Structure 1
């Protein structure tokens, strides 16, 4: 426990120059917490923060230290979207800074030896949001009682923990130190802790034990299962301990804001965590903002509601084609709209399903000449001008110039608008025969009609497909579109019923060599160009099908090599090989990248960058820009 000291005592050891003479504990307390403090229901700040909190020097970030207070309204499209608060809050054991360099956050420090032995130091005096100590026992609980418990972790643990097939050795060195050791390098370990949906290594054991069969008596456990409408104790533990989507308001967290609303609800209120571990250079505890209120709305009208002044901070649920409408709202409401550069490999990409259940189309799509021809036939300049006002970059689905791995040859791969070459490639692939309408014929005599499916969430996709319909018609390919809800869309893709889909390109367009290149290989079941191959990898061979295309198999092999590569130079070389294969094989047909994402904020909301990178991975949307440092200025 932290011993009782004056707040100036804490500042003397950390921020001596920043504290004015005569300041007291009260000067640093958020007004929002005063009722609990007056009622002695909460300890003072000095006893809430760690002995050595993380000090965020906001002036060094080019921003201004703020004041406490304020409520920020956001609109979400579904109850599941409360996960945005854990993404935006971006409290991680280890996290990225704005330059995408790893640094300790919740941890006081970490040490990596040969990328195989990782030692973590916990901040003394750190506490969960309920005031209970955060110590190595929380890591021990998660390791022994969750990861090693076959009911809670039937698959044997996350792949990030067993990249070579075996879990690491876990040690509790002392109450504030833990260690994870592998026989071989695991270069993805730290990056997985910094991810949007991070690898979980610790949990509030003091709270979760009541839902665990090992610690709770059967009668009480049965009652808890009945109250929470689950049939298995493992399902109860998972439901009550889910941190990424924090719909259990009783779950202690380490995030800047904690959910206070039980599900189901139409509105979720997140309040400041009184025990959050970050402070600014003036000794004020972060976050500055007291509350976030998330209101659920239909996804299709989020942009309309945002433009009607119903949101103080909005990035999700709006798109580039909403920009003009949102910009016009600046005339009517005290809001400002900025454009952030999207960090994806392509804002729009066509994904031919190499696992398509139609055997004829499957073989056609697996011919690289067909994929290259479809790419060459697209007039990206027309799409850029008509849909993105010329603001995007015509490119393959690949990384952006902001990445140190970028090469122009990746961006240029098979994107020149060349109908003559496209026609020649299709002829060489055996599709030279046409019907009276000029549509090519498949080997079984059917017309070459491609149905491109969408999740129906963006009119921008529809606009792009209308243009591509004309482009492909000129090379003898008929294009049709079909829209369905996202869950149905995903299900159809997994079942092989989708021939081709339109979606985003690579999630992470700004990787470094130390980031996992798994997005370039079949590793996930939501990779729409090869979902069954991705499922095979994800399930360690128990589901899906094994890749049987040589280049896809090579990508998986290179990924394995990256996982044991001991040096940065070797990991860089592997990334370059994988990028070359991925772009030359045109596994996804990228169209335009470097496009912009509107980010709307109240004019009272300060410390948001005017220009930044925007993406799920690795920037966690707004996360790496530290929303806990955003603040509301009442007088403009």
Structure 2
């Protein structure tokens, strides 16, 4: 049996072509249809609503110039409900990444190509020094309740989400601490201006939305959300009732804590009544089992034959706690299309059950490395000093037998490597990839001796005389990595370190890492394909990879726990170089600055990678069309978004 499905050489070729295309893309030529050029078709469930007078005709529901999405295989058929699964509200990325709507999106028509394209906007243009961008909505764009989507919604977002009481100022649109300026041009167009060049804005939009959670970009449904803002409504009773129902103390919390638009009113999957522009809209609260979503009758895209998308009527997500239960559902054919939580370590199991479950195991490729994250902003000053010492991190890294780990845990399917940009990335560096990866336990022990961490009765002692003990924290969604954690624990204990493990539910893991209450975290060093599109792993903004959660929160002005690093700490130079990269309009200079930033990580890695660049199994029922193998799996690309999921369909 061919377990890899593709060679490493093929992987590198595909990664190189796709990431280079993405980083070079700007405002791509658009494919649109004028409404007078053809007729439109719709799903039977919507046609029934039109016939009964409960929905306007399809020509009145979609824009005059809808986006045209070309299916990767064939024109699909309407109908059906996609069966999927998740671990509950804290596992939101499974449901939500399939359903994000940014103004500018990744478009991955085949495994060898990645572009950025206009989505619900018809175009965007920028001036020569990238200080000014103008966006234009598609004419006739509507929210899922049929209300027009206009620049009124952009102004509302700017006034309340960005500048007002809901202040949420993402770094990519707040340059050098100065807020972005907004000018509404007309009903469809708006211009944003920055105090310095912002050349990476299109990539940031494709990755981060930069607006309401899961989209849209720089906009929110003013006609609906204004009734929950005291200054914009005369009916305070509605706000009071919503606050009581959701158990919050302020109206701002209905929109989300800390400026993050994920609250019970403003979060699209929490609130079935919230108007959206996504392909599917929530039917019930995600605390229900299963969580349900149904098609948006006003969705703005069609296929080349004028069929309004999406093809599939809806989705269900059943809850599971134990990955073994999820794997059983797969084997029994109860999952239609899924990649999240489909463990590469169980590849053989999935293959053995293909026929019985009537599915196919496709292989995607991971732009990530499995990693351990010693917390250099630790609240214990002794552990902080130890973890900040590059000699200690090197000792941890070179004591790991990566080839043995790969063979025993991952059946040899991965590549031993350091946490770094993956092969094929424009930022790939072979020296970085192999930094501190050669197995050398003798040198590891010598480094610990050099640090003065005395070995007493087989146990390393801290400078304060206490045993050097720490806990590896990882979360239940990564339970399949337990064998890897066990093996790494054994390598580190062989150095005389006292190592414990703690497996917690994802919500608790996030809470602990957000608060900086972690010794060594376990997470993937992902976002390593188009690294400039999301550098948060390298700036410590992402607390789930907690190499410096308190420092990263301070720099990003995050609402979570934070602490300012010492004035001479190397992390400050990382931040300075990234801030310079962000505003540098010259591409060559920008790339040089970015490389200098990455070189700091290369010199003394903060994230300890083990193995990576492995195949990622994608389960696809045999009657589901328009899903290809070979695509890149990376959070930066919003995987599995970007692959025209609105064209997935059931063959009758």
Taking structure 2 as the reference length, the TM-score comes to 0.87
Q: Given the alignment of the two structures, is residue 317 of structure 1 paired with residue 334 of structure 2, yes or no?
A: no
Runs of 5+ in structure 2 lacking a partner? 1-30, 213-217, 257-262
Report the CA distance between 1:542 and its aligned residue. Answer: 9.8
Give the corresponding residue for 1:253.
276
Deviates more, 1:304-313 or 1:586-595: 304-313
Q: Deviations over 1:6-49 (max 9, x none)?
A: xxxx9984796xx6xxxx65xx2211212201112112221111
SS of corresponding position for 1:608: coil
1:87·1:196 contact (CA, 8 Å) conserved in 2? no
Give the corresponding residue for 2:115.
101
Structure-1 separation of matches of 2:495 and 2:558: 41
Structure-2 separation of matches of 1:240 and 1:496: 26
1:387·1:460 contact (CA, 8 Å) conserved in 2? no
Q: Deviations over 1:561-586 (max 9, x none)?
A: 11211122122112211221112212
Report the CA distance between 1:541 and its aligned residue. Answer: 10
Q: Given the alignment of the two structures, is residue 216 of structure 1 paired with residue 233 of structure 2, yes or no?
A: yes
Q: Deviations over 1:90-113 (max 9, x none)?
A: 321111122343211111000122
Give the corresponding residue for 1:390.
412
1:436 to 434, 441, 457: 457
Q: Given the alignment of the two structures, is residue 400 of structure 1 paired with residue 412 of structure 2, yes or no?
A: no
2:341·2:477 contact (CA, 8 Å) conserved in 1? no
Q: Deviations over 1:297-331 (max 9, x none)?
A: 22543223232322112222332223222222213
Structure-2 separation of matches of 1:427 and 1:73: 55
Aligned length, in residue pairs: 603
Q: Deviations over 1:401-439 (max 9, x none)?
A: 1211112111011111122322332222223x32233x3
Structure-1 separation of matches of 2:488 and 2:374: 14
Q: Given the alignment of the two structures, is residue 292 of structure 1 paired with residue 291 of structure 2, yes or no?
A: no
Q: Deviations over 1:221-248 (max 9, x none)?
A: 43454455544333335545424x5221
2:227·2:235 contact (CA, 8 Å) conserved in 1? no
Report the CA distance between 1:218 and its aligned residue. Answer: 4.4
Matches within 5 A, 1:535-546: 535-539=553-557, 544-546=562-564
1:82·1:246 contact (CA, 8 Å) conserved in 2? no
Structure-2 separation of matches of 1:162 and 1:399: 26
Matches within 5 A, 1:53-132: 53-58=66-71, 61=72, 63-81=73-91, 84-98=94-108, 99-113=113-127, 114-132=129-147
Matches within 5 A, 1:303-452: 303-344=327-368, 346=369, 348-431=370-453, 433-437=454-458, 439-452=459-472
1:77·1:317 contact (CA, 8 Å) conserved in 2? no
Structure-1 separation of matches of 2:225 and 2:476: 39
Structure-2 separation of matches of 1:419 and 1:181: 54
Report the CA distance between 1:341 and its aligned residue. Answer: 1.2
Report the CA distance between 1:351 and its aligned residue. Answer: 1.1
Give the corresponding residue for 2:642.
624
Q: Given the alignment of the two structures, is residue 518 of structure 1 paired with residue 536 of structure 2, yes or no?
A: yes
Q: Given the alignment of the two structures, is residue 166 of structure 1 paired with residue 189 of structure 2, yes or no?
A: no
Structure-2 separation of matches of 1:294 and 1:468: 34
SS of corresponding position for 1:356: coil
1:134 to 143, 146, 149: 149
Taking structure 1 as the reference length, the TM-score comes to 0.89
Q: Deviations over 1:124-148 (max 9, x none)?
A: 1111111111111111111124333
Work out which of the two has the higher radius of gyration on C-alpha atoms and give 1 or 2.
1
Matches within 5 A, 1:6-17: 13=34
Report the CA distance between 1:532 and its aligned residue. Answer: 0.8
SS of corresponding position for 1:357: coil
2:402·2:611 contact (CA, 8 Å) conserved in 1? yes
Structure-2 separation of matches of 1:566 and 1:325: 50
- Coordinate RMSD, CA, aligned: 2.5
Matches within 5 A, 1:493-572: 493-505=513-525, 507-511=526-530, 513=532, 515-539=533-557, 544-548=562-566, 550-572=569-591
Structure-2 separation of matches of 1:362 and 1:82: 32
Deviates more, 1:545-554 or 1:102-111: 545-554
Structure-1 separation of matches of 2:433 and 2:321: 36
Structure-2 separation of matches of 1:597 and 1:460: 13
Structure-2 separation of matches of 1:264 and 1:480: 32
Q: Deviations over 1:436-482 (max 9, x none)?
A: 33x33332333334432222443443211332234334444343323
Matches within 5 A, 1:128-277: 128-150=143-165, 152-153=166-167, 157-195=169-207, 198-200=210-212, 201-221=218-238, 222-226=240-244, 228-238=246-256, 239=263, 241-243=265-267, 245-262=268-285, 264-277=287-300
SS of corresponding position for 1:74: strand
Q: Given the alignment of the two structures, is residue 45 of structure 1 paired with residue 58 of structure 2, yes or no?
A: yes
SS of corresponding position for 1:618: helix
Give the corresponding residue for 2:628.
609
SS of corresponding position for 1:110: strand
Matches within 5 A, 1:14-33: 28-33=41-46
2:126·2:134 contact (CA, 8 Å) conserved in 1? yes
Q: Given the alignment of the two structures, is residue 596 of structure 1 paired with residue 615 of structure 2, yes or no?
A: yes
Q: Structure 1's 229 and 542: CA in aligned 2 closer, same or farther, altered over 3 A?
A: closer
